[in-house]
Amino acid sequence: MSNRAAIAAAAPAAEAERVEKMGRNNTSSIFCLLFLVNFLNLISTKVNAGGVFQVDYKFAGTERSLSALREHDSIRHLQIIAGVDLPIGGTGRPDAVGLYYAKIGIGTPSKDYYVQVDTGSDIMWVNCINCQQCPTRGYRGLELTQYNPKDSLTGQLITCEWEFCKEIMRDSSSGCTSNETCLYTEVYGDGSFSMGYFVEDFVQYDRVSGDLQTQSANGSVIFGCGAGPSADLSSSDDALDGVLGFGKANSSLISQLASAGRVKNMFAHCLDGVNGGGIFAIGHVVQPKVNMTALVPNQSHYNVNMTAIEVGHAMLSLPTEVFTVGDTKGAIIDSGTTLAYFPEIVYQQLVVKILSSQPDLKLQIVHDDYTCFDYSDSVDDGFPPVTFHFGNSLNLTVYPHDYLFPFDGLMCVGWQNSGVLSGEKTNITLLGDLVLSNKLVLYDLENQTIGWTTYNCSSSIKLKDEITGSVHLVGAHSIPSCAFSQSAQKAFIFLLLMTLLQAIFTGL
C-alpha cells in the first residue's frame, strides 16, 4: 500500500516548528502564505493587560445588552436599506496566495482600506498610526493606509466606560476602568495577532440602489485600531490593512450595522476561484435559490452538521460520532482559511480513496504536510469529485480542480489533517476557500441557517429590499490590485536603465 505509507510519512510536525520553518523561508513563500491564512482566528482569543479569555464564549451570554446599546443609537437615524455591495478582490487559489479582501472607507474625510474578509472572526480592525512596522505596500502592490482617529472628524476613542467595552472586558480581571482606553488583542490560530485599542468612526459602504448600481452610505461602527506590529499579518507580501470579521458575535461589523437597523442580518459570498474577486453582499438574497441547513447552536463559529462524505459514488465509512465529539460540533465554515482540514481518520480515508483512482502515482511529501505527485493530464478526468453531505439534504461538491493545486511542477492535495496540529483544537473539521470558492454561500443570521449552491461567481445575484419589495442585481467585482507591484516596478526600472545604457553605449 504505497498510498498509505506515503501519507503516514506526512509526519505530524509540531505546529510551532512548522510555522518557524515556513516563516524563515521567505522565497518559497507559497507554503508560508498558505499557512498564514490558515486558521485565521479559528482559535480566537482576546487578551488585555490582566486577563485572557475566549471572545466567543464571552459573547455567548451577553448578546442582548450589546444589541440593546446599538438600538439605542439607531432611533436617531433609522434607515433600513436594501443591501450592501462589498467590492472584493483576491483569490482562494492556494497556488496564488489564498486570500480574499474587501475595500471599505473609514472616517471623515473617508479613506480606503483593504481588509481580509473572514467569517471566522468577530471584530474588524485596521492598522493605525502608531503601528511601527506596518508595511505601506501589501498584497500585489496594494497601497496600504494607516488609520489615524485624530485625522478623522468623526473618529473617537472608546473608553472603558462604554457598554461595548464593558461587554468585551466582562470576564477579564484587567480592571479597565472609566477613562482608560479600551484595549484589545486579537490572536489568530496561526500565531499572528493584532493589538491595539477600540475606536468608533463612520464606515462608508456601497448601498445597493438599483440593478448593478450603488450609492455611498455610512454607519458608525466600533472597530480595533491596531497599534502594534501584527506579527505575520504585516510582515509578508500578502499584508493588508486589517481584517473584517464576519463572525456571529454581536461585535462584528454586520451585527453592529444590523442592530442599528441599517442592514438585514444576512450576507452572502461567492468567491471566484477562477478569475479572482467575486460577490460579497449584505442583505436578503432571493436569487439564486439556496437550500439551507441549521447552524449548530451554541458554537462560536459557523458550524453545520456534516453527515457523510462521498468520493466519486462511494460513501466513506466513517464512525458516526466523528463530527460530533469534542467541544467543536460539526464542520466550521470559514472564509479566512485557505484549505480544508479534517480529523485524521477522515483525512486518511479521504486521501486514500481519492488516490486509489490513480494507483500508479509516485507520491511525494512536500513541506511535511502536502501530498504531491507528478500529473499532467486533466485532473477532472483523472480524479473523483468529493461531495459533503449536511443536515436537511444540503450537499457541497468539490471538484478535483478545486482540491488539487499545482506547486513546483507537481499537483498537490489541498485536504489537510487537523490531527497533526498541536494545541487543543485538533480533530476539527474546517472548510475554507478550497471548498467554498465558486459557490454562493448564504448566511442567514436571523434564522440561524446557512446554505450554498454551486454558482458562477463572475455573474450576479439578486437582493430584495425589505421595505419596498423591489429586487436588485448585485454583480461581481475584482478589485484591481496595483497593476505594477513593487517588484514589477523595480524590474521595469531596471530594464529601462539597461535599455538606456545600451543606447548610450551603442551610440558612442
Ligand X SMILES: *[C@@H]1O[C@H](CO)[C@@H](O)[C@H](O)[C@H]1NC(C)=O
CB of 180 to ligand X, least distance (A): 25
Query: Quick one: which of 166, 185, 179 has its CA closest to 230?
Result: 185
Residue in the block written with cell 485625522: 151
φ, ψ dihedrals at 465, nearest 5°: -80, 120
If the CB atoms of residues 286 and 488 are measured against ligand X, the closer one turns out to be 286
- Catalytic-role residue among 56, 85, 118, 190: 118
Residues that bind ligand X (CB under 6 A): 59, 63, 67, 108, 154, 202, 204, 218, 248-250, 255, 259, 444, 447, 456, 458-459
If the CB atoms of residues 38 and 256 are measured against ligand X, the closer one turns out to be 256
Contact by Cβ (8 Å): 288, 460: no
- Catalytic-role residue among 56, 238, 334, 369: 334
If the CB atoms of residues 256 and 417 are measured against ligand X, the closer one turns out to be 256
Mind giving me the DSSP string for 113-157? EEEEEETT---EEEEBTT-SS--SB-GGGPBP--B-TTTSTT-EE
DSSP-assigned letter for residue 27: S
Examine the residue annotation and report whether 334 is marked as an active-site residue of this protein: yes
Cell matching residue 329: 460540533
**CB-CB neighbours of 475 under 10 Å:** 15
Q: Strands (DSSP E) along 316-379, which ranges? A: 331-333, 340-342, 364-366, 370-373
CB of 50 to ligand X, least distance (A): 24
If the CB atoms of residues 23 and 105 are measured against ligand X, the closer one turns out to be 105
If the CB atoms of residues 250 and 338 are measured against ligand X, the closer one turns out to be 250
Examine the residue annotation and report whether 118 is marked as an active-site residue of this protein: yes
CB of 109 to ligand X, least distance (A): 8
What burial class does residue 108 get, using C-beta atoms within 10 Å of its C-beta: 0-12 exposed, 13-18 middle, 19+ buried? middle
Q: Are strands 266-271 and 278-287 parallel, antiparallel or unpaired?
A: antiparallel
Cell matching residue 3: 498510498
CB of 281 to ligand X, least distance (A): 14
CB of 500 to ligand X, least distance (A): 42
CB of 282 to ligand X, least distance (A): 14
If the CB atoms of residues 50 and 210 are measured against ligand X, the closer one turns out to be 210
What does each C-alpha distance from 86 to 114, 225, 354, 466 come to in angstroms? 11, 21, 37, 19
What does each C-alpha distance from 141 to 35, 131, 158, 246, 490 come to in angstroms? 21, 19, 32, 25, 12
Integer Rg of the chain from CA: 23
Q: Which residues are known to be catalytic?
A: 118, 334
